[in-house]
Chains A and B, each alone.
Chain A
Amino acid sequence: MKCESCQKEEATIHLTQVIDGTVKKLNLCQVCAQKNGIDLNSPISITDVLLGLGAQMQSTSPSATEFDLSCSRCQMTRTEFKKRARLGCPECYNAFMGELSSLTKAMHHSGQHMGKIPARQGNKTRITAQIAALQKELKASIIKEQYEVAANLRDKIKALKESVQSLENGESNDT
């Protein structure tokens, strides 16, 4: 495969990056990768590549600043977020949800938290997480053609969904 930048050398660096919310693959030769500020000696973090390159490309297009989205709580703008590769506050995750969801999917190959839940989060979060975990199991069991297991999981998921419903109807339980 030839380098996409100079079209001459063999591409030895293969990167995944997010530009305007879509994931793109980039194949570069050693020289062009270095020109783009990718230090090959130090192992780079995925975000550096994703956001760093994204920001560089963004700044060359004049339309980038026209509709600069910003977070209503902390006033961080999208341009600033791309430049710093860090968010301003927890609310930024809602404000920049569009690009963040493709970014987190590209980085983590997932969009759903499966780990620890803080004790203060209440029952609803806990049950929602349980449902997500069971749905993952369900998918796996269908692929493995374990239909009895799948039927069991479906029942469990249904029951949990009902309990979320009842929690929503009587919100007071969730505090």
Chain B
Amino acid sequence: MTLDDMVGRHGSWLEAGTNEGPVISSRIRLARNIEEYSFSDWASEDDKLLIWERASSVFESMEDSFICWGMGETSSLDKEILFERHLISQELAIKEKGCGVFVSPNECLSIMINEEDHIRIQSLQPGLNLKAAWLAADQMDDQLESELTYAFSPKLGYLTSCPSNVGTGMRASVMLHLPGLVLMEEMDPIINGISKIGLAVRGMWGEGTEAAGNMFQISNQITLGRREDEIIDHLEQIVLELIEHENNARIRLMNDRALVIEDHVARAFGVLSNARMVTSSEALNLLSTLRLGLDLDMINQFSRKEIDTLFIAIQPAHLQKLENKDLKPEERDIVRAEMLRNFMDHATENDGSD
């Protein structure tokens, strides 16, 4: 499988169930380091290459075939695509030789080598499914550990490059679509409240990104002193509360401002069907509105999955890969508008079919 095959489809972690509503996906990340080397950005070039080779040989011996991208020999466009698909971090993308990623064919598992830590296992699942994501990450962890001796202290747990990750080395997160709370202007107090109970709120593409398209990632900050299942249960409980808040906000919106929401959705529909130039942030916001319209049964021409796929397909690197050439930002806006118009045309053809 190559990236060309990948851009045309969606990772199976995007295959949201039918009742998920505001939930997009669940993610578990484990940070691990090999005992005998310095942490990645303090290690010598030779050591980094050794770490890369040792990790590679473990993957070669596994039954499942993983796809591998070494950052030294991957083009910057391909790196961007991997980033847009949530398979690598921005931090890994700027790295070179000795750093890279192993990705499972369905894109649910990706293992970064020599990012902030020697090994970063990421496990993605559609919908609210942290336990399944943990299970897959835990198994991958066992497989790697059968060949590599991890840096571990009985007191501090898994030792990581940054002390904010020691202990379990685990970050559990859930991606949520919360347009109701944003429209009701209730998101700020919620973000405040959440940060007081040891959780963090981030945008769609992680640390430092803004919450475009009303997408929010909620994750644990505390990694030491709690078991993995306790961290997961706590996060899941808060996410369920957030979903309830979001659903209540939507009910209140429909009671008080139904016409305003219908107008929003209809306008998003109109712009997506007709615009000749659309920036990615405008597209994210319009798609978010469309997704809300879908959840509220105002429109029924497409599935939630199709919209979630577009969230990624309209990103700059994906567009350029599809067009097979470098595009300037204005050119991208034109291609993006074309793609969205095609999607809307196709969708309206199906109108009323079910």
Contacts and interface: CB of A to CB of B under 8 A. Distances in A.
A59 B41 CA distance: 23
In this complex, the interface size class of chain A, counting residues with CB under 8 Å from chain B, is 35 or more
Interface in B198-230: 198, 200-202, 207-210, 221-228, 230
B38 interface: yes
Contact of A47 (B35, B149, B164): B164
A45 to B, nearest CB: 6
B343 interface: no
B259 interface: no
What interface size band does chain B fall in?
35 or more
Chain B contact surface mostly: loop
B33 interface: yes
Given A93-B153, A119-B145, A45 B161 contact: no
Nearest to A121: B152
Contacts of B202: 43
A77 to B, nearest CB: 12
Interface string A119-140: 1110011001100000000000
Contacts of B222: 107-110
Contacts, number: 130
Interface of B: 33, 35, 37-39, 41-42, 116, 138, 141-142, 145-146, 149-159, 161-164, 166-168, 170, 191, 195, 198, 200-202, 207-210, 221-228, 230
A77 B142 CA distance: 33
A88 B39 CA distance: 6
B155 A90 contact: no
A85 interface: yes
A119 B146 contact: yes
Contact of A118 (B152, B207, B209): B152
B279 to A, nearest CB: 20
5 contacts: A43-B201, A73-B38, A90-B33, A108-B225, A113-B155
Interface of A: 41-43, 45-47, 73-74, 76, 85-90, 93, 100, 103-104, 107-121, 124-125, 128-129
B225 A110 contact: yes
Contacts of B41: 86
A112 B161 contact: no
Contacts of A119: 142, 145-146
B225 A109 contact: yes
A104 B168 CA distance: 13
B200 A43 contact: yes
A16 to B, nearest CB: 12
B116 A90 contact: no
B145 A120 contact: yes
Nearest to A93: B159
